[in-house]
Structure 1
Amino acid sequence: MKRHAPEGTVVIRKYPNRRLYDVTRSKHLTLDELVELIKQGREVQVIDSKTREDITPAVLAQVVLEQNSYLFSADFLHQLIRNQDGLIGDFLTEFLPKVLDSY
């Protein structure tokens, strides 16, 4: 889905070689630097350099899984994939964000 980033959002381009480029500050980023931006309270939008599609959710999910792989067992991930349209999907999209917002 193509969309414009809200004002103040750091726009990142992701290239096929997995490199990230911060359009806002004109510099390449590592995943760790992307995480630091988010920890500082910045909103980011990641755009695929070829298709111009917003791939922010996929990149952020990748970051969570790569940096916190110890949190997710293979069994849990299998169940998540099998039940993504059911109760677990509802939990992850409806309930969990509300809990994190209140934290």
Structure 2
Amino acid sequence: MNNATQTPAPSQQRIIKKYPNRRLYDTITSSYITLMEVKALVMKREAFEVIDVKTGDNITRSILLQIILEEEASGSPMFTAPVLESLIRFYGHAMQGMLGGYLEKNIQSLIDVQTRFAEQSKGFTPEMWSQFVTLQPPALQAMMGGSLEQSKHILAQMQEQMQKQTEQMLGVFGLKS
């Protein structure tokens, strides 16, 4: 049995080495692991870094993107083509730096809503679930209301920031907006 999912001691940082032959080596378990085992580490919220042995670069993001690509190709994608096209258009755009934070905060809000829902739904009887299903749109709106308000607030902040940056840039050229 592969010990790749063994939990490291709290003082140990899990390092996964990527070799030129594309194999991943878990230094905690002293064994080669697959991308799906790396995905299992993510699902268990275990901290790790993936280091390219040849260059010494941290390639964790690249490996995570590879996992997402495999998940997207597996038959039930999360992202539609228009969403992916929109994300691509943000690269090189003035909003690129802000989009990551915006998406991160919204995903965290969704996780918070999911956690609250799971806590509140403990002990639901079948009758209670039936009632919930009939009230689903209002209930979801109530739970997501905070998330939507937070999104509007973040967008307003981004707009303000862009306006200030534009004014500063125009000021450098002696122009006023």
* CA offset digits 1:37-81 (Å, max 9, x no partner): 222231111001111111112211221232134112222212101
Match of 1:91 among 83, 102, 113: 102
Identity %: 38
5+ residue gaps, structure 2? 1-9, 116-177
Residue 80 (str. 1) matches residue 91 (str. 2): no
For 1:78, the aligned partner's letter is: E
Cα distance in 1, alignment partners of residues 15 and 56 from structure 2? 12
Cα distance in 1, alignment partners of residues 15 and 21 from structure 2? 18
- Aligned 1:21-36 pairs, distance under 5 A: 21-36=25-40
Structure that is richer in helix per residue = 2
Partner of 2:12: 8
For 1:99, the aligned partner's letter is: S
Cα distance in 1, alignment partners of residues 61 and 51 from structure 2? 11
Cα distance in 2, alignment partners of residues 74 and 48 from structure 1? 31
Larger C-alpha radius of gyration, 1 or 2? Answer: 2
5+ residue gaps, structure 1? 1-5
Cα distance in 1, alignment partners of residues 27 and 19 from structure 2? 12
For 2:42, the aligned partner's letter is: I
Partner of 1:65: 69
Partner of 1:56: 60
Question: Which structure is higher in RCO with an 8 Å CA cutoff and minimum separation 6?
Answer: 1
Cα distance in 1, alignment partners of residues 106 and 12 from structure 2? 26
Size of the alignment, in residue pairs? Answer: 97
Cα distance in 2, alignment partners of residues 86 and 47 from structure 1? 25
TM-score by length of 1: 0.74
CA 86–56 in structure 1, closer or farther in 2 if over 3 Å, else same: closer
